[in-house]
Amino acid sequence: MSLSAVTSTHKLPDMSRVPTVDEVGVNERVARFQTRSIKSASKVEALKLILSMIDLTTLEGQDTPGKVRQLCQKALHLHDAMPGLPHVAAVCVYPTMVKVAKKALGNSGINIASVATAFPSGQAPLSVKLDDTRMAVAEGANEIDMVISRGEFLAGNYGMVFDEIVAIKDACGDAHLKVILETGELGTLDRVRQASELAMHAGADFIKTSTGKIQPAATMQVTLVMLQAIRDYYAATGRMVGMKPAGGIAHSKLAIHYLVMLRETLGKAWMTPQWFRFGASSLANDVLMQIRKQATGVYQSADYFSKD
């Protein structure tokens, strides 16, 4: 399929006019978020909100249908010992596992996210990426996490990267598109800002930091720059775009810092799973442990929480 076949009203922004980012200032702002002290009722509320925003993820070469079924079981039964907990937002798997997840989750309300477009490297022809995407959607994925072609982006071929996103968004149909910038490969916050603008203008429903396969994965600095890009895009167009930091957020305390940052950058409209997600595999259990601690006053052994 040729790119010209894609009809779109999207327009590539002028990359030279994208606002610059001062890294020192970003570090200071992030440090300030981390001084917020979140206690008692607001902590419990935050922990539950975090649970509801998690994309429970397994993206390993060694994944099997059995492993994916385990993960779905975990998504459905986070910690039945504590009633009243929200369920996670989605389960995130490779396209070949979408069918398994679909069957396991049924109509539980938990979304199925699938990475596509030759995740994690993105090193494949567009035709393969489009087939990958269509297959995942056809099997039942309602969210697609794509990767951008970082090599092309870094080489300055913005038009190519832009057209790819437009084409994949088109192939997604009704499925939501999350665009992974793989910020660990972009090198500077200025490029993170540029890639964010490019992805949003190309039609991304969400922008996402990382695949989790490259270090550093999500950082608060990178996420702040992306949130600021979302805010400016919203101011200019009126369209809300979601945010998903992924990789490296394993603890409740850090996740709460992210929520503080979200609240003070984009405000309350974004404080829902519809507009903010955590891509994480081990975060859920730490959050559960903290919720339990808030309720009982003592930490329980990690062995009381299922590890899937």
Partner 1 sequence: MATPENKLAFDGGWQYSPAPESTDHVSIRKKYELFIGGEFVAPVQGKYFDTINPATEERLSRVGLASAGDVDKAVKAARKAYAGWSRLKPAERGKYIFRIARMLQERSREFAAIESLDGGKPIRESRDVDVPLAAAHFFYYAGWADKLEYAFPGRKVKPLGVAGQIIPWNFPLLMAAWKIAPALACGNTVVLKPAETTPLTAMKLAELIADAGVPPGVVNIVTGAGETGAAIVNHPGVDKIAFTGSTDVGRIIQKALAGSNKKYTLELGGKAANIIFADAAIDQAVEGIVNGIFFNQGHVCCAGSRLLVQESVAGAVIQKLRERMETLIVGDPLDKNTDIGAINSKQQLETIRSYLAIGQEEGAEMFQSSCPIPKRGYWCRPTIFTGVSQSNRVVQEEIFGPVLAIQTFRTFDEAVTKANNTPYGLSGGVWTDKGSKIFKMTQSVRAGVVWANTFNKFDPTSPFGGYKESGVGREGGMHGLDAYLKLEA
Per CB under 8 A, residues contacting partner 1 are 19-22, 24-26, 28-29, 35-43, 45-46, 49, 228, 231, 234-236, 238, 259, 263-264, 266-269, 271
**CB nearer to partner 1: pick between 150 and 191:** 191
Q: What count of Cα atoms within 13 Å lies in the side-chain half-sphere of residue 231?
A: 15
- ∠ Cα 222 223 224 (to 5°): 90
Tokens of 212: 């989790």
Smallest separation, CB 174 to partner 1 (Å): 25
**Of residues 162 and 275, the one with the C-beta less far from partner 1:** 275
Q: Which is nearer to partner 1, 251 or 263 (CB)?
A: 263
Report d(CA 91, CA 98) in Å as an integer: 9
244 is catalytic: yes
Cα–Cα distance measured from residue 278 to residue 239, given in angstroms and rounded to the nearest whole number: 21
Residue with tokens 């984009």: 266
Q: Which is nearer to partner 1, 85 or 261 (CB)?
A: 261
Considering 43, 169, 178, 244, which one is annotated as catalytic?
244
Pull the structure tokens for residue 11: 């327009």
Residues forming beta bridges with residue 112, ordered by sequence position: 91
Smallest distance from partner 1 to CB 64, Å: 39
Nearer to partner 1, 268 or 307 (CB): 268
Verify cis geometry, omega within 30 degrees of 0, for the bond prior to 245. Answer: no
- Selecting among 99, 129, 178, 208, the annotated active-site residue is 208
> Shortest gap between Cβ of 33 and partner 1 (angstroms)?
11
228 close to 262: Cβ distance less than 8 angstroms: no
Q: Distance between CA atoms of 165 and 75, rounded to whole angstroms?
A: 30
Tokens (6 digits) for 30? 């992030």
Which residue, among 102, 30, 36, has the nearest Cα to 65 in the 3D structure? 102
Interatomic CA distance for residues 160 and 162, integer angstroms: 5
Smallest distance from partner 1 to CB 290, Å:
15
CB contact at 8 A, 193 and 225: yes
Cα-based distances in Å from 185 to 161, 204, 213, 216, 231 = 15, 20, 11, 9, 24
Question: CB of 229: closest distance to partner 1 in angstroms?
Answer: 9
Amino acid identity for residue 19 in this structure: P
Q: Which is nearer to partner 1, 43 or 169 (CB)?
A: 43
Helices (H), 140-219: 150-154, 158-172, 189-201
Which residues, 6+ apart, have CB-to-CB distance to 98 below 8 Å? 112, 114, 136, 139, 140, 141
Rounded to a whole number of angstroms, the minimum distance from the CB of residue 277 to partner 1 is: 16
Selected catalytic residue, list 145, 163, 205, 286 = 145
Catalytic site positions: 145, 208, 244
